[in-house]
Structure 1
Amino acid sequence: MSYRIDHLVISASDLEHGCDAVEALLDIRFGPVGKHAEMGTEARLAALAPDACLEVIAPDPAAPRPAGARWFDLDNFGGPPRFTGWVVACDDLEEAWKRAPADVGRILSFRRGEFAWRMVVPESGVLPFDNCFPALIEWHSGRPARTLPDQGLRLRRLKIAHPEAGALREALAPFVSAMENVRIVQADRPGLMAEIGTASGEIWIT
């Protein structure tokens, strides 16, 4: 089974503030607001060629708080917008779920407008390895990335830092073995960094 990076997640306390910050950094414009009623969140997307997205996501102030934790640990998010998660797409979510760490979460179904998907969501809102392990997704419709204008964004490298780099590397092996642009490094603190190619040069987001 093949796996590919589907999108990178930028968390924010306020969606428009988060989008303004990323638009200024990368000199792009995000698409319209999309809402996730089940999670009490809202997001905007930009294409990240060749077939992925950059997503800014935040709690939806107009939505009731969900019964469980919001995804990407948004219930505990604070501070400026930052790169907090990544999502890997597959064509057999059950098989991917079996290969993932035991605490990766449960499979839930979602729909937003014309888009339908299933995704593995942790009950705590926190993905394995301090959110350095990816969320897993299976699309049951067309993918948003193919509906967005190409603004010149290209994912050059994804760097994942963690104190347990060896264990993380082993857990990720089934998912990133064919992804030449993913690197896992030893560090005192967990963190995600991505090098994005833009019209004005290469920019790292953290």
Structure 2
Amino acid sequence: MKLQLDHIAVLGESLEEAVAHTEAAAGVPMLPGGAHERYGTHNQLLGLGGVYLEAIAIDPSAEPPGGPRWFGLDRFHGPARLDKWICRVSDMDAALAALPMAGRPVELARGRLRWIMAVPEDGLLPYDGVFPALIQWLSPVPAGAILSASGTRLEGLEVIHPQATELQALLAPWLDAPMVRFTTGAKPGLRAELRTPQGHPRVLQ
């Protein structure tokens, strides 16, 4: 069982804020995404060369879900920011047997895409939200492979937490994501290193 980096997510109080924050760092426009009826959210997407970036927020036009939204969006406040990283697994049952704190499996679909997401009962991921969300793609071609390359690349992802060493040790037996590194810091968060189509380094936080 391996955890491989699938995508990263910028959260916002509105999708417009999340998209603007993402585009300012990435240097390229995002592509249309879609709606997630199960959780009352919507998104836009950006291919980063092998992985992708998602801007996501509560959809004000959607019916409220019957329970907590994923990614802790019910409690998200403040400026848009890089807030989540999502790891791909090939067997969600095996992944949750190893890492039960990731949540429970929820099967989802949008258009031709089908996937299973591990979602905690309260919607809040461990380690103040910087524990990776887990996804298993059921579609023959996952979302990241469908997206056109934007020219902007993800070159590194830093996971910052006061207990970063503990989190790294917890994930180490399964994590296969060389560009991810863990840093001990007082304030939990994520920091992505990008390179634009013009070759300029950018930081997304």
Range into which the TM-score falls when normalised by the shorter chain: over 0.9
Aligned equivalent of 2:90: 91
The aligned runs of 1:64-83 (5 Å cut-off) are: 64-83=63-82
1:105 aligns with 2:103: yes
Aligned equivalent of 1:8: 8
> Aligned pair in 2 of structure 1 residues 25, 179: CA closer, same or farther (>3 Å)?
closer
Aligned equivalent of 1:40: 40
Q: Deviations over 1:32-79 (max 9, x none)?
A: 1300000000001110112x1100000010111111111111111112
Conserved? CA contact 1:99–1:174, under 8 Å: no
Give the letter aligned to residue 169 of structure 1.
Answer: Q
Secondary structure class of the residue paired with 2:168 = helix
Equivalent residue pairs, number: 203
Aligned equivalent of 2:181: 183
Aligned equivalent of 1:59: 58
Alpha-carbon deviation of 1:25?
2.6
Higher relative contact order (CA 8 A, sep 6+): 2
Give the letter aligned to residue 61 of structure 2.
Answer: A
Alpha-carbon deviation of 1:20?
2.3
Aligned equivalent of 1:30: 30
Structural RMSD (CA):
1.3
Give the letter aligned to residue 37 of structure 2.
Answer: A
Q: Give the TM-score normalised by structure 1.
A: 0.94
Aligned equivalent of 1:132, options 113, 130, 150: 130
Q: Give the TM-score normalised by structure 2.
A: 0.94
How far apart are the structure 1 equivalents of 2:31 and 2:75? 26
How far apart are the structure 1 equivalents of 2:201 and 2:15? 24
Alpha-carbon deviation of 1:183?
0.9
Q: Identity, % of aligned pairs? A: 37
1:167 aligns with 2:169: no
How far apart are the structure 2 equivalents of 1:25 and 1:189? 21
Q: Deviations over 1:74-100 (max 9, x none)?
A: 111112110110100011111111111
> Gaps spanning 5+ residues in structure 1: where?
none
Aligned equivalent of 2:193: 195
> Gaps spanning 5+ residues in structure 2: where?
none
How far apart are the structure 2 equivalents of 1:140 and 1:134? 19
